[in-house]
Structure 1
Amino acid sequence: MRRLGTIGTVAVGCLLLSGAGVGTSQAQTTAAAAAPRIGVSTVQYDSPGGTVPAIVTAYNVPPGSKVTISATGSGASKVRCAGAVWQNPVRHTASRTCYLQLPVTPGSFTVRGTAKLTKDGVTRTVSGSGARPVKADGKKSPAPMSPAAIQRIERCGNTSNDVWLTFDDGGSAAQVTSILATLKRNNVKARFFFRGDWARENPALFKKIKDAGHVVGNHTSTHPALSRMGETSVGKQIDKGTAATGSPRLLRPPFGAGAFTTRLEQIAQAKGYRLCRWTTDTYDWDGPSTARMVERIKYGDYRSAPVTAGGVILMHGHGKHTAPGLQKIIDTVRAKHLRLAPLR
């Protein structure tokens, strides 16, 4: 599947985000001395009435600073920030996840973030907005989703402290075989959200995943944005996706679109599914090095929160460095004194 990216644009779970990022070694070297600034990363679209994550990031944070982050939304939108601020000492950033509740009226809405940086008794306040607004388009969701439901969907219903590794979309025979071998060697159970069309084209390989004892989730048939599809079309996509195993049976909306909408939640439940998003995104589909993915899992950054107990890590079977880097990813999770869901 072809995906596009540009400078100043980032992506979450294959869904393009707008926001500022630090990508060059020169920027990293001079970050501590540069003036602090704010960037906001948000998805580009979702359903009117839905809720979407927005990561507010303070850049060029002086080492040793205490950072607090808050945010507001434009127009009739509302923003709620939740969870702790995470700091990345490699990138000199501090970030926090906030949630933009879109109004039921279609339109475009922005998130404005504010950070207070305190060091040696001196507090500096900086503010800024995302480079692009979030478009509330597609099908309306009648009622807002509660914070408790959002947290449950982010964790995919994981009520334990185990970290879950998840793999989306599909992959080559070599990639999938390598992933399965690494998981077996480390006694780690994963959740595979491979597309229905991939499973139909690779029946023997798909059978190996199930026979190995891993959990299968539904990622629809052909990976469309469900937030823009009517109920009948969504139902057909679910029906032609891979039939989920385990309890609860999980549906991961492609691009995460509609994951935090009561509309899609009701459609999924009628089909016997619970919605599943993620807590930590490696962005492996974008081709980052293993070292970059490990850094993201360990510290978090402007694109993703770091992994914590009970978290769900998003990867893809076709990621350029996912299969060869999986051992280091597993080692990084364990080095944080976190337990991965065991295969046996």
Structure 2
Amino acid sequence: MSRLPRLYLDWNAAAPLRPEAKSAMLAAMETAGNPSSVHAEGRAARAILETARERLAALAGCKPSEVVFTSGATEAAAMMLANPPGGLKAWGPPDLHSCAMAWRDPEISEDQARAEGRLLAFAAAEGETGAIRLEQAEAAARAGAQVFLDASQAMGKIAWRFDAAPFRAAVLSSSKFGGPKGCGALILREGVEIEPLLKGGGQESRRRSGTENLIGIAGMGAAAEAAKRDLEAGVWAQVRDRRDRWEAALKAEAPEAAIFAAQGPRLPNTSAFALPGWRSDTHMMQLDLAGVAVSSGSACSSGKVAASHVLKALGVPEALAQGAIRVSLGPTTTDAEVDRFIEIWTGLHKRRPTPQAAA
């Protein structure tokens, strides 16, 4: 008996590797040279590196010289936030991703941070609920604040550009737009100097020492080019339509469901919701056994028992927050897959015992 393929609806954790990225990585594997070597093989490796840098810059809306390749958004955030201007920790709202939260000063206000010339850390888009925060970040940068932006979830999903406002720095994660995992970048505005976390050979214009991950970077560059093409073609509007169709089915089946951040601008692919009395661990397990991959929030925190700090910051009651589920779609998610997910989820909901009133 044939078995239907699993449904992967966890694109915000990691998008499936794009075919273009895989092809570019396979080609890079055949290149023997070190990008820092001056012989022909080294120059060939350098050409791969710089092509990827140009492709990523085109997607991010920055100069190629402003791109610093890293192992991911977490390292990129640490490069900027571990040694902030004046040695003072950054300010940020309490719903930042954990890679930035680790460096945030929770004891100061935004006004105090501005007055002291501290970095202000914002997320372009919050990854658990999909809420878009760009307007606030851009306004702060235009008002003269030093703004650091976590653009990991926004990049490739919405038409955002680094040069849209005078941001000081931004971080990207390759796996969020279809590149390989464990690869990312710090976008550092021209003229901004940082103290490198990794010292040694002076790669990446002395901003991040260590031989570059040429294979991963090649894949990230190819994924960036494909992501830019998708944006220009309006692909994400179709993703939004599918997300909205799922949410309409959710509310029709379970009117009591809370859909988080649904009243403001959201990423077109993200649906975070909860039902009173249905814990996220049980909910995810049931979906996983039924062949559906979703999450309970950020991949960096979804294995934790406590409710998401993001939902707490939004004022969501603890009992409801502990039931949060995130469904995130992508450009290759089909109408048929959304229909099958609706059928699976509706069946699980109908078989679910009547919950006790939430505490």
Whether TM exceeds 0.5 here: the answer is no
Higher normalized helix content (fraction of residues): 2
Higher relative contact order (CA 8 A, sep 6+): 2
Instruction: Give the shorter-chain TM-score range.
Output: under 0.3
Q: From the CA coordinates, give the structure whose radius of gyration is larger.
A: 2
In terms of fraction of residues, the more strand-rich structure is: 1
* Structure-2-length-normalised TM-score: 0.26
